[in-house]
Amino acid sequence: MIVVTGGAGFIGSAIVWKLNLKGIDDILIVDNLGRTEKWKNLVNLSYKDYIHKSVFTEKLLNNKIENIEAIIHMGACSSTTENDADYLMENNFHYSKTLAEYALKNDIRFINASSAATYGDGECGFSDNINNIENLKPLNMYGYSKQLFDLWALDTGAVDKLASVKFFNVFGPNEYHKDDMRSVIVKAFYQVREAGCIRLFKSYRPEYPDGGQRRDFIYIKDCVEVISRMLENHGINGIYNIGTGKARTWNALAKAVFAAMGVKENIEYIEMPEQLQDRYQYFTQAEMQKLSDEGCNIIYTSLEDSIDDYIKNYLQQNDIYL
């Protein structure tokens, strides 16, 4: 059995979708549905059972769940603006560490979701080389909570027995429930539909023009292909980036949205909220050589083709789910 924590969430449900495509449905989904719309991500998926995360932990630690082959741990608070540090410390760090320790003790494949938010303002670069990890300074508590797990893995030697993956800017179907944390592609799509324009943040650094801030955007379908290969190859252990290795501007993203929708370009630049100005990443670009050296060579979908697929086959079809 494969356990997917956060299995009703954006990346987690996409991983279950990928597993289903490979004929795998002996899956236990762990999540906290609450009053959210995440349950809709599960409708098209095939899996054996769903269990609340608190019940899962209790049963797991009391050895009441048997025959676990792998734990793909995508469950976490993913809000970069969450300011409850104690909640993030418990939910993102301690919970992850507990699951990892159990997996290692019981010889279970463990894949953990880290984040590119650990890289902070990029001053130390975007290398997933182990020697670089300790130097990173995240700009927000979310990134710091992810950094703590990676540091724990390094300090204990667990890093050689598990995979912790730093997701860059992921977008695609099944993110509809994320409200303000949805990708800019979704927000831009509805802005164009409702107002005929796309609103992007102004730049507050002279080296970046408005809309010229650059991010490494990666399509969800490419992300889950990487996770699938890691699941197949237990020898891929360590801390790895998951991005395309190619930074693109917000302006390029906006143009791709207009092109996919067949609408004339109309970009409006707006002020960035003051609370974000000192925590904003102006540039991210994953270094992907380390993953490639492990034989995990993915032909990543271009930003334009990804957005075209997302808009035409999902957003314009009333938010079709994977």
Just list the catalytic residues.
Answer: 142, 178
The string over 255-271, giving b where at least 16 C-beta atoms fall within 10 Å of a residue's C-beta and e elsewhere, is: bbbbebbeeeeebebee
Q: From CA 126, how far away is CA 198, in angstroms rounded?
A: 29
Task: Give the pair of three-digit tokens for residue 170.
Answer: 């992921």
The count of residues in the chain is: 322
* Stretch (H or E) spanning 115: strand 109-115
Instruction: List the alpha helices (DSSP H) in 46-123.
Output: 53-61, 85-88, 95-105
| CA count, 13 A, side-chain hemisphere, 233 | 14
- How far does Cα 112 stand from its chain's mean position? 11
Q: Return the beta strands (E) in 138-276 as ranges.
A: 163-167, 169-171, 198-201, 214-215, 217-219, 238-242, 248-249, 267-270
Q: From CA 182, how far away is CA 259, in angstroms rounded?
A: 20
